Chains A and B, each alone.
Chain A
Amino acid sequence: MKALSKKRRHPLAAVALLLFGLLITGSLYTAAGNISEAKAAETTSASQADVEEGQKLFVANCATCHGMNAEGSDSGPSLIGVGAASVDFQVGTGRMPMQMQGPQAQVKPVQFDDEQISQLAAYVASLGAGPAIPDEEYLDTTQGDAAHGGTVFRVNCAMCHNAAAAGGALTRGKFAPTLTGVSEKHIYEAMATGPQNMPVFNDSNITPEEKRDVITFLKTIEANGSAGGAALGSLGPVAEGLFTWTAGLGIIIAFTIWLTSRPS
């Protein structure tokens, strides 16, 4: 220690320190690069392992309803050919595994981590061809056209999800959920796979670019917020009427009572 402290004023000490620092940084960088490279290689090449892992997860968590080979049963549909997108949506939003049988699967905290979800998706995708998880390209809202997306949305989606994407009722306790806070990927997957009671909007019906437009529209109105003040749930005239009769008339009645009160 004493020797080191003696030499720290040496003219070459700064150079030595710089070299030392570069060496450390360089080797750390290389090591990290090697590790991520190894990981990437693993995910691409080890998809067979993923499928096997996914099958294990499937048998443990899904087979009760969907059958040991995903062939379906009385309490759950066949998953052969539903594709990776379907699994990614249903499991990734917490709808699956289902908490209980009911009119439709409810959103709840996600039960698996991302790796497990992709393993499950790989397994189900291996059973038959189906919609794949969308490319990043189609989820990039900077490339979408919000106005065109709005038109597509009003024609195809608003009758269930409401023009402001606030959600709406379907028959017998089923419903179209609000689309606020749903990720781009999940919106895309929902359109491609038609979860619960939703129809499938395949690529010839709404092209991947149009799907991106719809996502852009939804994300734009979500980011814009409501221009005219509190949106009252974006539920339309019912919320406005309720507000009139409760808050509006309530405030007015309070004032009429004040105006006609007399000190007694």
Chain B
Amino acid sequence: MTTTNEYQASTATGRIANFVDSRVGASGMVKEFGRKIFPDHWSFMFGEVAMYTFVLLLLSGTFLTFFFDPSMAHVVYDGSYVPMKGIGMSTAMASTMDISFDVRGGLFMRQVHHWSALLFVASLSVHMLRVFFTGAFRRPRELNWVVGGVLLIMGLAAGFTGYSLPDDLLSGNGLRIIDGVMKALPIVGTYLSMFFFGGEFPGDTVIPRLYSLHIMIVPAVIILLIVVHLFMVVTHKHTQYPGPGRTNDNVVGFPVGPVYAAKAGGFFFIVFGIVAFIAGLFQINPVWNYGPYDPSPVSAGTQPDWYIGFVDGALRLMPGYLGNFSFEWIIPFPWGDNTLVMSVLLPALVPAGALFAVMFAWPWIERWITKDNREHHLLDRPRNAPFRTAVGAAGVVFYCVMWAAASSDLIATHFHVSLNDVTYWLRTLFFLGPIFAFWLTRRICLSLQRKDREIVLHGREAGIIQMSPEGGFSEKHEEVDVYKRYLLTNYVDRQYIPAQPDAAGHVSGSEKRRAAISKFFFEDRVAPVTPSELEAAHAAHGHHEVEGDTQDSIAK
């Protein structure tokens, strides 16, 4: 070993690099990681967008911390914004005003921070939808799906804590709702609220507390989870869409070095540029319009940022009374009456709770129903998993109905309809929308699968009409090429699995329930074309006649 000649670099840079490398062994890591292959598809890039906007959030957020003072001490504003001069407000609000009007580049950085926050959660959500609809959460990636779900929740937490920091009227109204939800919790509610706000709402401690959460705890957890998430992505390798040459055991794509390193590096700056462009031209969260927080006024058009909107919408949809039935329950206890405000508790906790519970549990639900415990590195085309796509669509509609409800007032004014009617319609859609979406999506998926079968068996309609010597017209069908046929015929064909007896020959109740769901999901299915079907189709169809264009119709 000692006899090997040490590598001597010829340039100064090379010598420095070699010095470092021989001590930290970076070249091995670069070699390993640089040959890592990532598949290429536009829908795979939303996770990256989320990460880049998060980096932007860290950068712009650090800038903001230099000037922001989270204190709730009372000051009289004396900055350059005239319509606010001489108004009493908290130091937090005043320093936000100063960042906006008196710190050079402050307003731009605030807008970069806020726009990237909105884009961060949006790209996170789209990324999760992509993972869901393509089945990328299946074994071995279930845990990474859970980590992603926690990242989404942390994204919401980061967003909400940040949204509340300026202590303006809009965000103060948001905190008041949080206060209301806390107080609606039975027994512990008032204690929890007093604990959180350090006394009666709004108190003078909540903004500094939210600040600690916003700039330390939540970002630290997010960074940790991103590391875990990416580590698992490297361990599992990236999934890929099905296609010729792509199997469960390979990854077809480009290596990190140099292709992806360059692409991803460039893409970071593209995302940076897009956010800077938006932040430079479009105003966001004009706190000077809303004014300082004061518990008495609530402005029209008071909404949370989009990602909390669905909870706000659920609160708006919930009636206080149903006919004469009140959702405010007075429960007599020996020590006195306790009030249970179900009209707050139900909408604030149940829909969001149900949504997240199903989201987290879905990989295991699907495995239980399909009894499919194989490793999957090839993605499903959404149409080839009609049950999952339909469940996802139902979830999206459920979310979107609540989301829309959060903007019911703006829907009413901008589409010139009655606010009450908007609420009634959305209440109806809250219950019926997901069912309809499930049914419709499944029908669309099955139809698309049938179309795929049709294309494989009979070819693509070429649009060329041929006239035979007898005068009959027929359309030429072009056979699809083998690559396309591979894509259209190779998918996981999930079938109804009837209830199976266990080792003792007993069919358990849960197995029966599983079988019932399996039947519901997989009773209607379109099987992929088999080779024998394909041969039969080729033998039968030399050409294909135009529909309805028989000898009869021509003779007429």
Q: Which residues of A contact B (CB under 8 A)?
A: 103, 146-151, 154-155, 158-164, 166-173, 175-176, 217, 220-221, 224, 226-232, 234-245, 247-249, 251-253, 255-257, 259-260, 262
The answer on a CB contact under 8 Å between A244 and B122 is yes
Cα of A175 to Cα of B417 in the assembled complex, Å: 10
Does B339 interact with chain A (Cβ within 8 Å)? no
Assuming the contacts A169-B413, A175-B412, A248-B122, asked whether A230 and B300 have C-beta atoms less than 8 A apart, the reply is no
The answer on a CB contact under 8 Å between A252 and B306 is no
Closest-CB distance, B169 to chain A (whole angstroms)? 6
User: Considering the complex, which residues of chain B in the window 10-61 have a beta carbon less than 8 Å from any beta carbon of chain A?
Assistant: 40-46, 49
Q: Pick the contact of B294: A155, A162, A176, A232 (CB < 8 A).
A: A155
On chain B, the residues within 8 Å of A147 by CB distance are 82-87
On chain B, the residues within 8 Å of A234 by CB distance are 286, 289
On chain A, the residues within 8 Å of B201 by CB distance are none
Does B170 interact with chain A (Cβ within 8 Å)? yes
The answer on a CB contact under 8 Å between A231 and B300 is no
Could you give, for residues 100-138 of chain B, a 1 whenever the CB lies within 8 Å of some chain A CB and a 0 otherwise?
Answer: 110000010001001100110011001000000000000
On chain A, the residues within 8 Å of B205 by CB distance are none
Q: Pick the contact of A260: B40, B118, B280, B413 (CB < 8 A).
A: B40
Does B320 interact with chain A (Cβ within 8 Å)? no
On chain A, the residues within 8 Å of B353 by CB distance are none
On chain A, the residues within 8 Å of B302 by CB distance are 236
Assuming the contacts A244-B306, A255-B274, asked whether A155 and B85 have C-beta atoms less than 8 A apart, the reply is no
Closest-CB distance, B448 to chain A (whole angstroms)? 22
The answer on a CB contact under 8 Å between B274 and A173 is no
The answer on a CB contact under 8 Å between B83 and A240 is no
Cα of A163 to Cα of B17 in the assembled complex, Å: 59
Cα of A230 to Cα of B279 in the assembled complex, Å: 10
The answer on a CB contact under 8 Å between B286 and A164 is yes
The answer on a CB contact under 8 Å between B41 and A260 is yes
Q: Kindly list the 6 A-B residue pairs having the minimum CB-CB distance in the complex, ordered from nearest.
A: A168-B300, A241-B306, A228-B283, A169-B409, A163-B299, A256-B42
The answer on a CB contact under 8 Å between B306 and A232 is no
On chain A, the residues within 8 Å of B374 by CB distance are none
Cα of A239 to Cα of B118 in the assembled complex, Å: 12
The answer on a CB contact under 8 Å between A162 and B119 is no
The answer on a CB contact under 8 Å between B304 and A164 is no
The answer on a CB contact under 8 Å between A229 and B280 is yes
Q: Pick the contact of A221: B83, B282, B284 (CB < 8 A).
A: B83
Could you give, for residues 422-440 of chain B, a 1 whenever the CB lies within 8 Å of some chain A CB and a 0 otherwise?
Answer: 0000000000000000000
Cα of A222 to Cα of B166 in the assembled complex, Å: 23
Would you mind naming 5 contact pairs between A and B with Cβ atoms under 8 Å apart? A147-B85, A158-B297, A163-B299, A256-B49, A262-B40
Cα of A158 to Cα of B107 in the assembled complex, Å: 24
On chain B, the residues within 8 Å of A155 by CB distance are 294, 296-297
On chain A, the residues within 8 Å of B281 by CB distance are 229-230
On chain A, the residues within 8 Å of B409 by CB distance are 168-169
Q: Is the interface of A mostly helix, strand, loop or mixed?
A: helix
Does B407 interact with chain A (Cβ within 8 Å)? yes
Cα of A262 to Cα of B223 in the assembled complex, Å: 33
The answer on a CB contact under 8 Å between B291 and A154 is yes
The answer on a CB contact under 8 Å between B289 and A163 is yes
On chain B, the residues within 8 Å of A256 by CB distance are 42-43, 45-46, 49, 267
Closest-CB distance, A99 to chain B (whole angstroms)? 14
Cα of A84 to Cα of B409 in the assembled complex, Å: 33
On chain B, the residues within 8 Å of A231 by CB distance are 283, 286
Does B479 interact with chain A (Cβ within 8 Å)? no
The answer on a CB contact under 8 Å between A253 and B42 is yes
Q: Is the interface of B mostly helix, strand, loop or mixed?
A: helix
Cα of A248 to Cα of B416 in the assembled complex, Å: 27
Closest to B77 in A: A147
Cα of A144 to Cα of B434 in the assembled complex, Å: 54
The answer on a CB contact under 8 Å between B280 and A162 is no
Could you give, for residues 284-310 of chain B, a 1 whenever the CB lies within 8 Å of some chain A CB and a 0 otherwise?
Answer: 111011110010111111111111010
The answer on a CB contact under 8 Å between B267 and A255 is yes
The answer on a CB contact under 8 Å between B83 and A146 is yes
Q: Pick the contact of A235: B122, B290, B410, B419 (CB < 8 A).
A: B410
Q: Pick the contact of A163: B107, B170, B303 (CB < 8 A).
A: B170
Assuming the contacts A245-B122, A260-B42, asked whether A173 and B419 have C-beta atoms less than 8 A apart, the reply is yes
The answer on a CB contact under 8 Å between B294 and A154 is yes
Does B278 interact with chain A (Cβ within 8 Å)? yes
The answer on a CB contact under 8 Å between A249 and B299 is no
The answer on a CB contact under 8 Å between A154 and B306 is no
Does B420 interact with chain A (Cβ within 8 Å)? yes
The answer on a CB contact under 8 Å between B83 and A227 is no
Cα of A166 to Cα of B414 in the assembled complex, Å: 12
The answer on a CB contact under 8 Å between A238 and B282 is no
The answer on a CB contact under 8 Å between A166 and B301 is yes
Known: A158-B169, A262-B40. 10 other contacts (CB 8 A): A149-B83, A150-B291, A158-B299, A163-B300, A171-B418, A172-B420, A176-B300, A226-B283, A228-B283, A231-B286
On chain A, the residues within 8 Å of B304 by CB distance are 237
On chain B, the residues within 8 Å of A241 by CB distance are 118, 305-307, 309
On chain B, the residues within 8 Å of A148 by CB distance are 86
Closest-CB distance, A208 to chain B (whole angstroms)? 20
On chain B, the residues within 8 Å of A163 by CB distance are 169-170, 289-291, 299-301
Closest-CB distance, A236 to chain B (whole angstroms)? 5
Closest to B278 in A: A248
Closest-CB distance, B481 to chain A (whole angstroms)? 14
Closest-CB distance, B417 to chain A (whole angstroms)? 7
Closest-CB distance, B313 to chain A (whole angstroms)? 11
Could you give, for residues 193-230 of chain B, a 1 whenever the CB lies within 8 Å of some chain A CB and a 0 otherwise?
Answer: 00000000000000000000000000000000000000
The answer on a CB contact under 8 Å between A240 and B118 is yes
- Which of B274, B294, B299, B303 gathers the greatest number of chain A CB atoms within 10 Å? B299
Does B156 interact with chain A (Cβ within 8 Å)? no
Cα of A54 to Cα of B307 in the assembled complex, Å: 56
Closest-CB distance, B86 to chain A (whole angstroms)? 5
Closest to A168 in B: B300
Q: Pick the contact of B42: A158, A248, A249, A259 (CB < 8 A).
A: A259
Cα of A231 to Cα of B284 in the assembled complex, Å: 8
The answer on a CB contact under 8 Å between B82 and A220 is yes
The answer on a CB contact under 8 Å between A159 and B300 is yes
On chain B, the residues within 8 Å of A243 by CB distance are 278, 282
Could you give, for residues 448-487 of chain B, a 1 whenever the CB lies within 8 Å of some chain A CB and a 0 otherwise?
Answer: 0000000000000000000000000000000000000000
The answer on a CB contact under 8 Å between A151 and B87 is yes
Does B153 interact with chain A (Cβ within 8 Å)? no
Closest-CB distance, B172 to chain A (whole angstroms)? 11
User: Considering the complex, which residues of chain B in the window 66-104 have a beta carbon less than 8 Å from any beta carbon of chain A?
Assistant: 82-87, 100-101
On chain B, the residues within 8 Å of A173 by CB distance are 412, 416-419
